[in-house]
Amino acid sequence: MKLNWGYNILIAADAIFQNKLRSILTSLGIIFGVASVIAMLAIGSGAEQEILEKMKLLGTNNIIIKPLDKKKMKELAEAEADESSSDAKKDNTEKFSPGLTLGDMNSIRKLVPTVDRVAPELIFEVSAIRKNTKRLVNLVGINRDYLKINNFTISEGNDFSDLSFKKSEDVCLIGSDVSKKLFPTDNPIGEVIKCDEQWFRVIGILSEKKISKENIQNLGIRDFNMDIYIPLETMFVRFNNRSIVTKAELERRNRRGEQAEVNNNQLDQVTVAFRNSEDIRSSVDIIHRILERRHNFVKDFEIVVPELLLEQEQSTKRIFNIVLGAIASISLIVGGIGIMNIMLASVLERTREIGIRKAVGATRSDILLQFLSEAVAISLSGGIIGIILGVSTSYIIENLTEIKTIVTPFSVIISFVVSISIGLLFGITPARRASMQDTIELLRYE
């Protein structure tokens, strides 16, 4: 006998509408399970996107070398003294270190073959003045590699020329926010900005870097859009080269008093870019030993490997998302068990109905399709409602909290397929039980 799909599905739909409340309660497990899965996948996708943004900001092939302040050096020396000998602290404090210098940068470039680029960074906080507008900004001394390592692009104007570095020219590149605040209506190219007592001509505007406040705090980076960049050699000439101690500088130090901490580091930071990320771990140890020897074994520097920090953060978030996903999956399993339970009860309640249908010609396949259609319809409707609820929940989470969520088509498709699969998986047993019963026994049932 030919299987009548339409008629059997129609009977299944009629049975669902006759028991609306029971069908809704049965589908609640699927609704909340699917919504939870979508919300958890959205949180996971958002976390992954944040990691990628951080990688773009810090660079996957980069390491960062920073000088330590006196407080951190003291804490490090005390920790090492506790682990080794009591003389470690004394030896470390009595030795002299020139601090982080251009010589360190050049040695790394020369002695480590895996290095691609090295970029120094020297920062002074200055007041930038243009006409009647004044803003507190960071004036940053850089070399040619700095913009390439940090993925900066020029939106207007030109980059520094080789002569800008050789002749210590008074030219600058400005961030996008500096351009908006100091030149709200004018074109900055060719105009001048006064930084403290020095004047600089604007030759280019950097493209905007979108950095969230959270990344600025967590990664310890600046808002690059409010920076003004000048050649490093110009910074040494026009402001201060901390590696050279002049008579005027000594007088200033005496006026500040002996308790004032003096920064002898010629550079505030050095970023080292490698050709391949696989070279980082082996090269970090070599760079550490080079700097130790150059700094007379005084540990007044630290090497930060962003890739390792981001990998650790990514691993932690991945574990967290797996746990949340497992919890959400339990809801789906519970919902599936609920469907099986209700369908088994429905088979028992409608025993005579099944017997009558089989007596008038319905085949086992017809009965199987009828009850299987009911289970799939309940889970599918629950899945659709769950998708809507999950997407809405994701947007609510992002708007009410600082957690970034991204709902992807993949998560919606997966949830849709899962809801159908649950109906088929947990509905097959009750449906087979209904179809396998003997017609005479069904008609005799009271």
Domain boundaries of the chain, sorted by first residue: 5-54+312-444, 61-305
Cα gap 225→207, rounded to integer Å: 8
**Three-class SS of 225-294:** HHEEEEEHHHHHHHCCCCCCCCHHHHHHHHHHCCCCCCCCCCCCEEEEEECCHHHHHHHHHHHHHHHHHH
Q: Do 99 and 300 form a contact (C-beta atoms < 8 A)?
A: yes
Furthest-apart CA atoms within the chain: distance in Å: 113
Among residues 267, 245, 237, 231, the alpha carbon closest in space to that of 104 is found at 267
Closest CA to 37 of 434, 409, 327, 405: 327
Specify the pTM.
0.61
Place of tokens 């940090």: 150
Three-state DSSP class for 135? strand
Burial environment of residue 96 by CB neighbours within 10 A (0 to 12, 13 to 18, 19 or more) = exposed
Nearest Cα to Cα of residue 430 among 302, 342, 332: 342
Task: Please give the full DSSP string across 340-372, using - where no structure is assigned.
Answer: HHHHHHHHHHTHHHHHHHHHTT--HHHHHHHHH
Distance in angstroms (rounded) separating the CA atoms of residues 415 and 428 = 20
pLDDT given for residue 348 in this prediction? 67
Q: Would you give the end-to-end CA distance of the chain in angstroms?
A: 29
Q: How many Å is the Cα radius of gyration of the chain?
A: 35
What string of pLDDT tens digits covers the 446 residues of the chain?
445 656 556 666 666 667 777 777 777 777 888 888 888 888 877 776 776 666 656 666 788 898 887 777 666 666 666 555 544 444 544 577 888 999 999 999 999 999 989 999 999 999 999 888 889 999 999 998 898 888 888 999 998 988 788 888 899 999 999 999 999 888 999 999 999 889 999 999 999 887 666 655 555 567 888 899 999 999 998 887 777 766 565 565 565 554 445 677 889 999 998 888 778 888 889 999 999 999 888 888 888 887 666 566 666 666 766 776 676 677 777 777 777 777 777 766 667 677 777 777 777 777 777 777 777 787 888 888 888 998 998 888 888 877 778 888 887 888 778 777 877 777 777 777 767 776 666 555 55
CA distance 413 to 419: 10
User: Alpha-carbon distance 123 to 283, whole Å?
Assistant: 27
Cα–Cα distances in angstroms (integers) from residue 19 to residues 14, 15, 111, 230, in the given order: 9, 7, 79, 75
> Which pLDDT score is estimated for 237?
87
Q: Give the H/E segment covering residue 375.
A: helix 364-400
C-alpha 72/C-alpha 93 separation (Å) is 12
What integer pLDDT is reported at residue 315 of this predicted model? 67
pLDDT of residue 25: 75
Task: Give φ, ψ of 406 to 5 degrees.
Answer: -135, 115
Distance CA 314, CA 194 (A): 43
The enclosing H or E element of 88 equals helix 87-94
The whole-number pLDDT of residue 92 equals: 47
- What residues pair up with 121 in beta bridges, in sequence order? 269
